[in-house]
Amino acid sequence: MEITFSLDEIDKAAKQVLSAPIKSVVLFHAGMGVGKTTLIKAIVRQLGVKEMTSSPTFSLVNEYETESGDILYHFDLYRLNTEEEAYDMGIDEYFYSGNLCLIEWPEKTPNLIPLDHTSITLKELPDGRRQLVLN
């Protein structure tokens, strides 16, 4: 699936992502400042999370409860120095919990990512819109 959207259309894009057959582990690939966190916030909103969402840059993971009572995890692995740090925090338990895991900077833990996952790649286009490719 490929979607092109402006930031004003991000909630619509999030709905489209959630309507696609996605796995419980979703990887977000993009450069710094392209909109990974913004898209994840929109996805979390679409799932009915009422609490304030933010990037887990310093905590590495935020846990949210959806409107239907499901738990989801938002990871920002940017600050990791080694895969061992992720393993020590129990990241594999999150990944194999069956709960939705939305992961920014998954390239920091390539050997820990489950084989069964969905990838989203975001690019900023010259006109400021974003191109999303879901695999």
* pLDDT 10s digits, 63-77: 999 989 999 999 999
Ranges of each domain in the chain: 21-118
Cβ contact 75:86 at 8 Å:
no
| Nearest CA among 59, 28, 31 for reference residue 44 | 28
Residue 122 host element (H or E): strand 118-124
pLDDT in tens, 85-128: 999 999 999 999 999 999 999 999 999 999 999 999 999 999 99
Quick: pLDDT tens for 17-36.
Answer: 999 999 999 999 999 999 99
Sign of the Cα torsion 30, 21, 71, 40 reads positive
The class level of CATH for 21-118 reads alpha beta
Structure tokens at 30: 């993009």
pTM as predicted: 0.92
What is the average per-residue pLDDT within 45-61?
77
